[in-house]
Structure formats: structure tokens, C-alpha cells
Structure 1
Amino acid sequence: MSLTTPPRPHDPLEAVPELARFARSATRLHPRQGEPVETQSSVGGPLLWPAEEPWPLCRLEHDDQDITPFDLDLQIRHARRMSEPKDGRFDRMDFSSRLALSRQCTLDLVTEAYPVFDLLGPAPLIPIAQLFYGDVPGLPWADRYDLLQILWCPRDHTGTEYDAPYCPAFQLRWRRTDMIGEVLTAVPEPALVDERYMPNPCLLNPEVVTEYPFSKSLPPDLEDAVRDWEDRLGIQALYNNQTAVAPGWKVMGHGGYWGIIDPEPMFCECGAEQFPLFTADSGEFGGGSRSWQPIEEAGTEWEFADPVDVTIGRGYTLGLYYCPDSEHHQGRTEMF
């Protein structure tokens, strides 16, 4: 299926032609629910994984915020009440203590149900995207690779120098498909997940679009020119919402909409500036970004607004950045 982004309602280059030098190509993945197989590009589908290669594990510290199945909630509340003072005092447990007890109760309950798993040990990752270069143009190092596999740990993390806190944590594999022999069929699964980070299996409908930097990333004179353009048209946030960056799941381009923090450049430990590689979004369009809905799906209302059904934070975006100098350098993530 081919999905096409409608022409932008207004062309910023007519008013601010200097923006042209900042244009970048991005590939909107347009994931739609389906039944992908390991030989297809997908979001949330199976990976073409070499049988002899160990499945990746998450060894980071978790900081789970929402991992409790609803039907266990009453048991956790009961355990919490049982641990509070019984000597007639009215003081209650502080928030941190209550949260720690809830997490421990969850681990105890799940351990009882699944004793074979070590819930506090390294956890298997899950596939988040498989991108064949023949399907998704513009991926880095096309002279060396023809497949990019992206996995993440579907739990919240404390955050590191490279990983955003309260988000999944990524791992990447760059591959040549002609070097993959026997394919792994029995894939390890984590025992504990946050359902917000469990993607629906989706097939992709890649489309290349042109993006421009978020307004606050522009030089001051161009940022002022963009604001003047919006004022003349009387449309607030026209540039950022309807022109600069496409919403949804995509690769390359200028990344996501910086809605909760101001944009900042990402730098590798080698000193090189890092650039957007992969953007995971809490939906394909909505609110001010409705104009990005594909032409072929016009009139479908919200049927295809969130096919992946992943939620980042409170409906935000998670961007993965890479170093253009080497695929072996550590990438960075940011939630915005």
C-alpha cells in the first residue's frame, strides 16, 4: 500500500527562502497493523536474527513506573496496608516508600507466578523496528549494510549519560543480510513489561518527505522571520505543526516535535554532532498535526491515528540519535 502525505497547507520557502539550506529528507514509516514476517521491514515484527548470535539483554537499572497488571492491584494495596503502622498513629508512608513497596510487591507476585525468570537480572529486549535499506531510503552506511534492527527494553529506566530517563532503552544491530545464515526461531521474552512500550506488529509504508528544523533550532534571524510569517497568516505554530517536522514513526530528518523541552544539539563523546536516526512517537497524527494524515486515509477519522499503540511519557516522542562518524559510537536518546 502507498501512503502519501498531503502537500503542506503553506510553503515556508515562499516567505523564508533561506530555510532551504536546512532542509533534510525524512522517511515516514507509516506503520499499519498487520502480520509481518522476519524477511519484511516492520515495527514490532519478528527479526531476521542469526541463530548463532546471543539475543540482547538489558543490563541497565530499571525505574518502573507502571508495570502492575490491573488484576494484581488489590493485592498490592492489601500488602501496603499490612506494612503500615498498627500502633494507632495516623502518619502514613511517604510517597517514595509507598512506590518502593508497590514495586517489591509486584516483583514478589510475578516471581511467584513465573519462578523460572530472574526479574532482577538482565532482561531480554523486544523488537521495535526492522528496516531493510531497500524499503527505507536514506539510512546511514548503505555501502556496508542493508539492514538495521532496532530493539528496546520495554520498561522505564533510571537514565544514563546516553539514555533518557523514564523511557525504554534502545540497542541497534547493523547487518548485511548475505551474512545471516540460520535464523533464530525461539526468541527469548522478558518476564515483566510496561504495556505502553509493547508495539502492535505493523507493516510499513515508507514515504520520503522534506523537513526543516524546529523553530527554536533556527538561527535567531530565521526564527524571527518564521514568526513574522505566522503572524501575517494569523496561524499560531503553523511552522512547527504543519511544516517543520512530520509526526509519527520515522527515520532521519530533523527528529520530533520539541514540545516539553527546548531543542538542544546532541554530541557524541568523540565530539561530533549526532543526528536523528529513529523517532518513535505516541501516534501518527493528532491535534495540530492532523494535516499530516495520508491522502489515502482521508475521512477515516482516528482509525489510523495510533496503529502502533505505544505511548512515550504522557504522549510524547522518543528520539534516537546516531554519530555520523561511526556506527560503533554510542547513540543517545531524548524524550520531547
Structure 2
Amino acid sequence: MPHPCALDPEQVVEHEYVGLLDPELRERIELWEEELLDAEDASAGPGNYDSYEEYEAAMGGGGPEGDELTYQHDLSIAPGWKVGGFASRHLTDPAPVVCSCGAGMRPLLTVHGREWDSGTLNWVPLEDLDVLRLPGANVPAGVYLGRGLMCVFVCPADPAHPHRLSFQ
């Protein structure tokens, strides 16, 4: 049974799964990520630390907040429950979801087991920043589907056509 929880809708900007982007754009994104990583490495200094705590401090605090920025985790598919947007392809290769009429189907609703991932905190809703470190804070609804999420696809040509489901 789902847990009672508040619905706090917010509009976010997300971008298509990296595997579905034009190869030239993917290459530009990879170069951008490498430049960010090189800049982060250069700012870290020589790397002689007396303790792991010193290393964490030098790396920007350690943990998820200190990880490098990446397109896939920080700019692409937002985790959590959502209407519209892009579908996650984190467990399978991108495959088109096609209606029986031949039209490419679009995500209508995504139901996700977590509101944000522990690996990156860039998608944490502002109203949840104060409960960020509480156990279970990122699973307020208590809903678990398959491996983590379900996406309902709809036909853009005719919404009366049967919906399709994808579990990731």
C-alpha cells in the first residue's frame, strides 16, 4: 500500500537519454564532461592527504555532492514521479515504443520508486532539502515497481489507442 504523502508538483527541464542523441552531439557532451573532470582534477591539488576526511574536503565535501557533473545523471532524465518528459533507458538499450498505428509513442506518466537518486542530489526537490539525510526520505510514497520505475506511453496520433508500459 502506498504511504500517504504530499504532492508538490514542480516544473523541471530534462533532456533526452544520451543514447538517443545525435552521435555528433554525444561526442561534444563527452568532451565537455572530460573538460569538467580535468578542471576538477587540476583544482584538487597534488593529492597528499593525511586522512580520508582531508581528501573529502579537497574533493568538494565527498559523497554524492562531490561527484563530477555528468549529462546522464545531472541533466538528462529526472528521477521521480512525473507527467511527460523523457523515458529512462538505464537498464535497456533505447528501443522505440511504437503504437499499432505506427506512430512513435510518448511518455505520459512515470511512476518511480524514488524521488531522487542517492548518486546525485541535483534532482532533490527544494522542499525536501531539510529531510535529505533521513532514511527513506527519497521514497515518500512507498511504491516499488519492478526494478524501480514504470513508464506509461501514449499514442500522440490518437489517445484512444492502447497505452504501452515499460518497466526499468
Query: Which bracket does the TM-score occupy, shorter chain normalised?
Result: 0.7 to 0.9
Correspondence for 1:116? none
Cα drift, residue 202 of structure 1:
3.3
Deviations 1:49-102 (A, max 9, x none): xxxxxxxxxxxxxxxxxxxxxxxxxxxxxxxxxxxxxxxxxxxxxxxxxxxxxx
Aligned counterparts, 1:224-263, within 5 A: 224-234=27-37, 238-256=70-88, 258-263=89-94
TM-score (normalised: structure 1) = 0.39
Kept in 1, the 8 Å contact 2:111–2:150? The answer is yes
Correspondence for 1:292? 123
Kept in 2, the 8 Å contact 1:255–1:278? The answer is no
Aligned to 1:272, which of 91, 98, 103? 103
Which range moved further: 286-295 or 230-239? 230-239
RMSD: 1.8
Deviations 1:255-309 (A, max 9, x none): 23x2211122211000111000000111111222322112232242135310111
The answer on 1:331 being equivalent to 2:134 is no
Distance 2:116 2:8 in 1: 15
| Secondary structure, aligned partner of 1:290 | coil
Correspondence for 2:64? none
TM-score (normalised: structure 2) = 0.74
Quickly say closer, same or farther: Cα 1:332–1:289, change in 2 above 3 A.
farther
Kept in 2, the 8 Å contact 1:245–1:254? The answer is yes
Name whichever structure is richer in strand by fraction.
1
| Secondary structure, aligned partner of 1:298 | helix
Distance 1:334 1:228 in 2: 31
Aligned to 2:18, which of 211, 215, 223? 215
Correspondence for 2:153? 321
Aligned to 1:306, which of 118, 121, 139? 139
Query: Runs of 4 or more off by more than 6 Å in structure 1?
Result: none
State the one-letter code of the partner of 2:99.
C
Aligned counterparts, 1:70-109, within 5 A: none
Gaps of at least 5 residues in structure 1 are: 1-197
Distance 1:246 1:324 in 2: 22
Distance 1:283 1:272 in 2: 30
Cα drift, residue 310 of structure 1:
1.4
Deviations 1:105-162 (A, max 9, x none): xxxxxxxxxxxxxxxxxxxxxxxxxxxxxxxxxxxxxxxxxxxxxxxxxxxxxxxxxx
State the one-letter code of the partner of 1:215.
V
Distance 1:255 1:280 in 2: 11
Distance 1:261 1:215 in 2: 13
| Secondary structure, aligned partner of 2:12 | strand
Aligned counterparts, 1:1-336, within 5 A: 198-234=1-37, 238-256=70-88, 258-300=89-131, 301-302=133-134, 304-314=137-147, 316-336=148-168
State the one-letter code of the partner of 1:271.
G
Cα drift, residue 232 of structure 1:
1.1
Gaps of at least 5 residues in structure 2 are: 38-66
Distance 1:289 1:247 in 2: 10
Kept in 1, the 8 Å contact 2:36–2:69? The answer is no
Kept in 2, the 8 Å contact 1:200–1:309? The answer is yes
Distance 2:35 2:3 in 1: 42
Correspondence for 1:108? none
Cα drift, residue 236 of structure 1:
6.0
